[in-house]
Structure 1
Amino acid sequence: MKKKDYTFLIISIIPLISLLMQLMKLSLINNYQSFFSILNFLCIATTIIYSITLFFSKKKKNILQKTVLSLSVIYILIFLIIIIGVIANYIQ
């Protein structure tokens, strides 16, 4: 396992930690919310781009890379659910 894999794993976990903090109302960063949402978006975009490169890679994937792939699938599903909700509200 490489240092790069650990770095991408940490980058991919940051949005989940932020989401859990917001759900549990533990956010101490109310004044800087827009900055952290931009940071979360950049982390999610980096995770998805890295997982696309992993998906098309011919090498065998280690456990950290598989974890990043599964997290990117979760993020894509969350985006799809949000898009469906926005479309459903727009239609009504």
Structure 2
Amino acid sequence: MKNYLNVEEGKNSWKRYVSTTILASVFMLLGSIIYIIADMIMVAADESGKSYVDFDSGVAVGINANLDFLLSHIMYICWIFGLWIGIRFIHK
């Protein structure tokens, strides 16, 4: 059984911190691309024709607000996943 007092220190060079930051940023960018594509699909699937994407403000108008709120948090879930990968595999 491991004890919290017998902790092994991870690999903590500046290159590992930079690569983890870049990896987490890339995952957040991918999450935001998924969000934009999901918004476009929801607008295209709307049969009433009342929903549209306002590109000036970056908001999908006329879709379910709760679903849009849920989808907007996909980028943060992807960011946390990228951060976890960086800590788990890069910093060990």
For normalisation by structure 1, the TM-score amounts to 0.35
For normalisation by structure 2, the TM-score amounts to 0.35
Higher strand share: 2
Higher helix share: 1
Higher RCO (C-alpha 8 Å, min separation 6): 2
